[in-house]
């Protein structure tokens, strides 16, 4: 049985025709405009074949809009689009910047910045060039090759959106947990200097002393703070903070020495002192000049896993191994979870096990 094409090209109408019957044209013969929701039903291979047929193998661009109605003349296109050229379909990202540097150096900077992020999605930068039609701001066109296997075009579009967010964070310093992680992984930790520590970012200038009980409990508590918080977080070992009015900012990079046992030492300390184990906790080494950073990434955790408990506590500087500590991050500080909150959680759980319902307050 033949597979129904998710998108085809109609020569008579000069439009892309989707499997749901919708048709999409464009203001120029070599451009089409589709709605972002159209991408969900499109297979990349079908789109590539349709575009090849549209211009007999010539270059074609598919612009994307979020506008409720797709108007070929007035709808606003996104800076992420699709481009068919030379027999290949790529994701095209338009990145605007006011800064001008040598074109070759800028292209290398963007490629290096994006490489670690794209690698995880089986993608890579194939071209970076300055768009000659823009002067202020400058516009850089970045073409990204993505593996289509197991993906629809919406998946590829999201990869392009992530690449654009990373480029914008690099330029502006407006960071999220996700873009901060990508900047660290791509060797651009210096972008974080001057940024505030906050609800999802904590830095430490030296290794936790994982030979001592207090050091092991401290790293477990650092992870637990973000595991118990709403948005997760990142702990960076090898960057220093500085107190300023109203909080603390990152003031510099101070690489830490590492060896073949470093990651395992952190992992073991957390495994032995934190329960339950956080989902998808990443501990990795990021090379920087003079050494490395240890980056611990704690994604947002399911509410049903909370609170995360630390076996052991540090009370007035002394280690209390028989204690359990429960902490979470709020703003730039850590707060304990109250006894009332813990009791309410335990009581609700017991009631659910016993009677199959949670008691009303």
- Please give the full DSSP string across 226-258, using - where no structure is assigned: HHSSSS-EEEEETEEEEEETTEEEEEEE--B--
Domains of the chain as residue ranges with CATH: 7-172 (no CATH), 193-355 (3.30.950)
User: How is residue 50 written in tokens?
Assistant: 């349709």
Report the distance separating Cα 352 and Cα 304, nearest Å: 13
The enclosing H or E element of 202 equals strand 201-204
User: How is residue 117 written in tokens?
Assistant: 């992020």
DSSP 316-348: TTEEEEEEEE-EEEETTEEEEPPHHHHHHHHHH
295 DSSP assignment: E
- Tens-binned pLDDT, residue by residue, of the chain (361 aa): 557 899 999 999 999 999 999 999 988 999 999 999 999 999 999 999 999 999 888 899 999 999 988 988 888 899 999 999 999 999 999 999 876 667 888 899 899 889 988 988 899 999 999 988 877 788 999 999 999 999 999 999 999 999 998 898 888 777 889 889 989 988 888 888 888 887 899 999 999 999 999 999 999 999 999 999 989 999 999 999 999 888 888 999 999 999 999 999 999 999 999 999 999 999 999 999 889 999 999 999 998 898 899 987 766 666 665 567 676 655 444 444 455 555 565 666 666 667 665 555 5
């Amino acid at each position: 049985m033949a597979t129904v094409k998710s998108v085809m090209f109609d020569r008579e109408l000069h439009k892309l025709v989707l499997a749901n019957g919708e048709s999409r044209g464009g203001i120029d013969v070599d451009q089409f405009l589709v709605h972002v929701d159209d991408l969900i039903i499109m297979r990349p291979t079908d789109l590539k074949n349709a575009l090849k047929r549209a211009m007999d193998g010539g270059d074609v661009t598919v612009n994307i809009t979020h506008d409720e109605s797709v108007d070929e003349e007035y709808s606003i296109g996104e800076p992420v689009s699709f481009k068919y050229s030379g027999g290949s379909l790529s994701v095209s990202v338009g990145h605007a910047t006011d800064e001008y540097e040598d074109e070759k150096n800028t292209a290398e900077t963007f490629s290096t910045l994006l490489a670690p992020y794209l690698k995880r999605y089986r993608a890579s930068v194939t071209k970076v060039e300055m768009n000659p039609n823009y002067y202020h701001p400058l516009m850089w066109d970045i073409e990204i090759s993505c593996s289509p296997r197991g993906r629809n075009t919406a998946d590829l579009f999201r990869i392009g959106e992530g690449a654009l967010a990373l480029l914008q964070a690099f330029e502006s310093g407006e960071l999220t947990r996700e873009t901060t992680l990508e900047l660290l992984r791509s060797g651009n930790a210096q972008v974080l200097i001057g940024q505030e520590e906050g609800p999802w970012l904590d830095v430490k200038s030296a290794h936790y002393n994982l030979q001592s009980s207090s050091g092991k409990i401290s790293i477990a508590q650092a992870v637990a703070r973000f595991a118990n918080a709403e948005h997760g977080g990142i702990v960076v070992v090898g960057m220093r903070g500085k107190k300023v009015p109203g909080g603390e900012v990152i003031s510099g990079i101070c690489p830490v020495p590492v060896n073949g046992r470093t990651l395992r030492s952190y992992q073991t300390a957390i495994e032995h002192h934190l329960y339950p184990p956080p989902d998808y906790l990443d501990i990795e080494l990021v090379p920087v000049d003079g050494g490395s950073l240890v980056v611990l990434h704690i994604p947002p955790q399911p509410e049903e896993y909370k609170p995360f408990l630390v076996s052991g506590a540090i009370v007035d500087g002394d280690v209390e191994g028989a204690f359990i500590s429960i902490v979470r991050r709020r703003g730039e500080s850590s707060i304990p979870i109250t006894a009332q909150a813990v009791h309410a959680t335990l009581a609700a759980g017991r009631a659910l096990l016993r009677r199959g319902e949670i008691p009303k307050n």
